[in-house]
Structure 1
Amino acid sequence: MLQGPGSLLLIVLASHCCLGSARGLFFGQSDFPYKRSNCKPIPANLQLCHGIEYQNMRLPNLLGHETMKEVLEQAGAWIPLVMKQCHPDTKKFLCSLFAPVCLDDLDETIQPCHSLCVQVKDRCAPVMSAFGFPWPDMLDCDRFPQDNDLCIPLASSDHLLPATEEAPKVCEACKTKNEDDNDIMETLCKNDFALKIKVKEITYINRDTKIILETKSKTIYKLNGVSEKDLKKSVLWLKDSLQCTCEEMNDINLHFSVWPELSLFCCGSKTRLR
């Protein structure tokens, strides 16, 4: 099991004599000419790989991204899958592709092992499918080396056992509240606006979730001091969302009913709309 750059380096030194000639490792580009990659510090705003056990990554990476800008743009789309916790090694697998570990003494890029890909796919592909996304060709497990080669393995040989992890923390704005009719009426009365609205798009910026509203699909219950024009320009934020889970955010095809803190049953004051 690889625990960090030190243990990676030991495996590299032991295996270096067995490595073949250098060639491109970019998926879908088997004839792509070899291009020497460079070690770059993993930026703090690469949230997908926040807290990963190594500090430096290779560019170009294993997905063909040649700039850090490309990596940041593409990696953000995979954060929700990590948050679903479908497999304990999901982040490890994805980061081995988006931000492959970089060792100064080794030119070759270390790929994820075939078994790592298979285990993550078996657990996470059904989750993706439930939301209408197939397992992408660029993550075809047959592309990756067997475990007896130099590669990033599963974290534990006990991966076939059910994971026993702590229950994920639920975002404060997404906690279920047992409210009776009086509580709901009080909330409606003390706020400037209340509406039921559909989410158009969800993106991740730093550690927060940015929620863009589909203003054409809404039910307005109350709208004092806030115009529909204001609603069209507004976005909502779920702060520190990467440190917690929110089941309501798993399917943007649903209409949400959430109270003031998240405001997707948009109930609050005008200052909450930005």
Structure 2
Amino acid sequence: MLRVATAILCFLVGGVVVHSAPCEPVHIHMCRTMPWNMTRMPNHLYHSTQQNAILAIEQYEELVDINCSEVLRFFLCAMYAPICAFDFLHDPIKPCKSVCQRARDGCEPIMRRYNHSWPEIFACEELPVYDRGVCISPEAMVTEFAEDVKVVDASLDVMPNEPQALDCKTWNSDRCRCRKMKPTLTTYMEMKYDYGMYPNT
């Protein structure tokens, strides 16, 4: 009986570890050109390892090669090797609905010629809309900043209660009325924040 209980406990603990897996480097060849290089498993299609995801994504290589949609590779990689952002470890970021629709609109006509339709696992209707949820699209990926853009490091986990003057010359930590707030999906939705993602260099 003790062995059975121990086995069940190990299985449950193992399941929790897989669910909250940390970020890992992207090994899927098709996704090496994406503006992110870290992913996490399981992915949005419930593949527990990148090896499983590689076997599944390979069936779309010919569609990517013929370039039926300029966003197909981005969409597939966002599904099979989702971007791993430390602030969204428990809520992996999905591709936006519009990205899925653009990929489907470009590629489904070609798929139909060979008696295939857009896969049900890529249900565009179930993906978030950019202005009402957190999602990624090629246009939203920031790779360079204009000189007048101020980047705030969200890893500090501190957001001000009240907006501070951007040109404040006498700012110090004693005057700042701040409280620690984790920038999670819920925070972004409740506070209606705009957000951007950029690769670490």
Global fold match (TM > 0.5):
yes
Task: Give distance in 1, aligned partners of 2:111 and 2:120.
Answer: 14
Question: Given the alignment, which residue of 11, 25, 38 partners 2:22?
Answer: 38
Query: Gapped runs of 5+ residues in structure 1?
Result: 1-32, 157-274
Q: Distance in 1 between matches of 2:126 and 2:138?
A: 16
Residue aligned with 1:105, SS: helix
Aligned counterpart, 1:152: 136
Amino acid at match of 2:88: L
- The residue that corresponds to 2:106 in the other structure is 123
Q: CA deviation at 1:53?
A: 1.2
Misfit runs of 4+, over 3 Å: none
Q: CA deviation at 1:154?
A: 4.5
Give the deviation of 1:68 after TM superposition: 1.9
1:138 is aligned to: 121
Q: What CA distance in whole angstroms lies between the structure 2 residues aligned with 1:154 and 1:105?
A: 20
- Provide the TM-score with structure 2 as the length reference: 0.57
2:37 aligned to 55, 70, 73, which one? Answer: 55
Q: Distance in 1 between matches of 2:68 and 2:96?
A: 18
RMSD of Structure 2 on Structure 1 (CA): 1.9
Distance in 2 (CA, whole Å) between partners of 1:49 and 1:132 is 27
**Counterpart Cα distance in 1 of 2:56 and 2:73:** 14
Distance in 2 between residues matched to 1:54 and 1:154, nearest whole Å:
11
| Higher helix content, 1 or 2 | 2
Extract unaligned runs of 5+ from structure 2: 1-15, 141-201
Mapped partners of 2:112, 2:22: distance in 1? 35
When the two structures are superposed, what TM-score results if normalisation uses the length of structure 1? 0.42
Distance 2:51 2:111 in 1: 25
Contact 1:89/1:155, CA 8 A, preserved across alignment: no
Structure with greater Cα Rg: 1
Report if aligned partners of 2:82, 2:92 keep a CA contact under 8 Å in 1: yes
The one-letter code matched in structure 1 to 2:125 is D
Q: Between Structure 1 and Structure 2, how many residues are aligned?
A: 122
Offset from partner CA, 1:12-31 (integer Å, 9 cap, x none): xxxxxxxxxxxxxxxxxxxx
